[in-house]
């Protein structure tokens, strides 16, 4: 079957979107890199979705890349490309190298000018990525070697032709901000759980599906950054108890239970789930730099004591 270049481009992208939807049913919200590298088969041709480079165009596509990628953070190492989210509903995506005329950058510029949707793979942890689509390149900044990227709804790619919305479209910027927040929380959880070896810092529960990343200082706090040393791996009950000042942690990493709850008489869940951890020491990450920040704990512990 012979397609025009525009028709071929569209059919391959739609096939890629469909493939990702099916894979998410199997894996959940994050996909292994191996699956993305293997990709899918279109008209007898294998189409991978990623490559070692961040901007990727499979050979089957005529001109415009299929995906962009932000590598996951590695402990103690910066990301190769410092792609950033902004508070204004845009993602700043860095050029490939420092040449505006590098073929990959030219390809993204063509995507911008034609309004073609891309897939954005955001590295959650090593070997795992969350796919976001459709995303659109909306502005080019040669002076800062970057593009502006926004996220849109799936219905933006449902029509016969893909027509980009206005660059300053409020609704699309709102979707982008929500997506950024979800990505950062997902990545924060992955980093925290890995640091605690996928165990609750209080009870040592080792079922990742039941674990969460608790902030010591909450998101809205000026120092409430999504860093591992501002996080604790906790099961859902201990996370809730920590957030609501039922359970406190001293700056020396000991667990305390609020006085009224400690002396409350109830069933075995309260006795074994909370009261039994009074005075126990926290499970700590192996890497010292990942351990809870003592100043953060001191501030949170002071709030806990005021609630006692």
Q: Each residue of 50-101: pLDDT tens digit?
A: 999 899 999 999 999 999 999 987 766 655 555 555 566 889 999 999 999 9
The per-residue pLDDT for 159 is 64
* Higher pLDDT, residue 160 or 174: 174
Query: For 173-191, what is each residue's pLDDT tens digit?
Result: 888 889 988 898 999 999 9
Per mean pLDDT, which range of 111-115, 175-179, 294-298 is the poorest?
175-179
Q: How confident is the model at residue 279 (pLDDT cuts 50, 70, 90)?
A: very high
Residue 91, token pair as written in the block: 């993602």
Q: Which of 35-39, 84-88, 151-155, 260-264 has the highest mean pLDDT?
A: 35-39
Residue 68 CA to residue 88 CA, distance in Å, equals 20
Q: What is the pTM of this model?
A: 0.83
Residue 71, token pair as written in the block: 């590598």
- The residue behind tokens 């069933």 is 267
Query: Domain residue spans in the chain?
Result: 5-191, 198-307
Query: Which candidate, 69, 53, 58, places its Cα nearest to that of 12?
Result: 58
3-state secondary structure of 14: helix
Cα Rg of the chain, angstroms = 23
CB 92 within 8 A of CB 146: yes
Angle at 176 between CA 170 and CA 181, to 5 degrees: 130
CB 162 within 8 A of CB 115: yes
3-state secondary structure of 137: strand
Annotate 181-230 with DSSP letters as a single string. HHHHHHHHHHHHHHHTTTS-TTT----GGGEEEEESS-TTSTT--S-GGG
């Amino acid at each position: 079957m012979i397609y025009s270049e525009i028709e071929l481009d569209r059919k391959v992208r739609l096939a890629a979107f469909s493939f990702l939807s099916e894979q998410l049913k199997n894996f959940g919200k994050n996909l292994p890199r191996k699956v993305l590298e293997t990709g899918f088969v279109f008209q007898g041709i294998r189409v991978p979705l990623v490559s070692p480079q961040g901007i990727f165009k499979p050979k089957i596509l005529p001109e415009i890349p299929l995906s962009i990628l932000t590598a996951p953070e590695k402990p103690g190492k910066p990301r190769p490309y410092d792609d950033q989210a902004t508070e204004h509903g845009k993602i700043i995506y860095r050029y490939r190298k420092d040449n505006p005329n590098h073929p990959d950058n030219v390809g993204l510029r063509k995507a911008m000018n034609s309004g073609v949707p891309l897939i954005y793979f955001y590295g959650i942890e090593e070997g795992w990525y969350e796919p976001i689509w459709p995303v659109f390149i909306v502005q080019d900044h040669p002076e800062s070697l970057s593009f502006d990227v926004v996220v849109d709804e799936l219905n933006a790619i449902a029509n016969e032709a893909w027509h980009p919305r206005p660059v300053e479209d409020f609704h699309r910027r709102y979707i982008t901000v929500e997506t950024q927040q979800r990505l950062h929380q997902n990545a924060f959880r992955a980093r925290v759980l890995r640091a605690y070896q996928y165990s609750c810092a209080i009870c040592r529960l080792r079922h990742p599906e039941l674990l969460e990343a608790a902030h010591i200082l909450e998101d809205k706090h000026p120092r409430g950054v999504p860093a591992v040393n501002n996080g604790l791996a906790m099961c859902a009950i201990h996370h809730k108890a920590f957030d609501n000042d039922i359970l406190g942690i001293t700056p020396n990493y000991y667990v305390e239970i609020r006085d009224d709850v400690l002396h409350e008489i109830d069933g075995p869940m309260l006795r074994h789930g909370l009261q039994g951890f009074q005075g126990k020491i926290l499970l700590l990450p192996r890497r010292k730099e990942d351990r809870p920040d003592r100043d953060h704990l001191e501030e949170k512990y002071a709030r806990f004591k005021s609630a006692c």
